[in-house]
Amino acid sequence: MSDKNRLIAVEIDEDTLGASGPDAEHERRVAIFDLIEQNSFALPEHGEGPFILALSKVERRLVFAVRDEHGKDVHTFILSLNPFRGVIRDYFMICDSYYDAIRTQSPHQIEAIDMARRGVHNEG
């Protein structure tokens, strides 16, 4: 893996994409750490990195703002969330059920909910 073609940071706008609770915030931090530890990211038409990815939501659009390691804007991608509304709603409902279950349910019930969560996650 090149030291240049990678993400060195992922920033999430808490005002527009804040975590829904402490469990979700913890999972978010772990996922970002894992991503930063081992990734490959390149924008061939925009030179070499490393890069910083900033995520935010504007209206019903997810904004991927890519900056270089010094904070200079490199490129911005905007993705409409409308096609994903149903999947996002289902995913958050299952995640809420999962977080509730890990406090009170048996390992078998937790596993069943987690399998459903993975299925919806893979669908999106």
Domain ranges of the chain: 1-80, 82-124
What's the average model confidence in pLDDT over 46-65?
93
Please give the distance of CA 101 from its chain centroid, rounded to a whole number.
23
Query: Is this prediction's pTM over 0.85?
Result: no
pLDDT of res. 116: 78
pLDDT in tens, 62-113: 999 999 999 999 999 999 998 888 877 887 787 777 777 878 888 888 888 8
DSSP 55-103: EEEETTEEEEEEEETTS-EEEEEEEESGGGHHHHHHHHHHHHHHHHHHH
Work out the number of other CB atoms within 10 angstroms of the CB of residue 49: 22
pLDDT in tens, 11-29: 999 889 877 778 778 888 9
pLDDT of res. 124: 56
For the cut 90, the answer to whether the pLDDT of residue 52 exceeds it is yes
Q: Cα-flanking dihedrals φ and ψ of residue 117, to 5°? A: -60, -45
pLDDT of res. 109: 83
Cβ atoms of 41 and 69 closer than 8 Å: no
pLDDT of res. 123: 65
pLDDT of res. 80: 94
- From residue 104, alpha-carbon distances to 20, 23, 40, 91 in Å are 20, 15, 39, 20
Mean per-residue pLDDT over the chain, rounded = 85
pLDDT of res. 50: 95
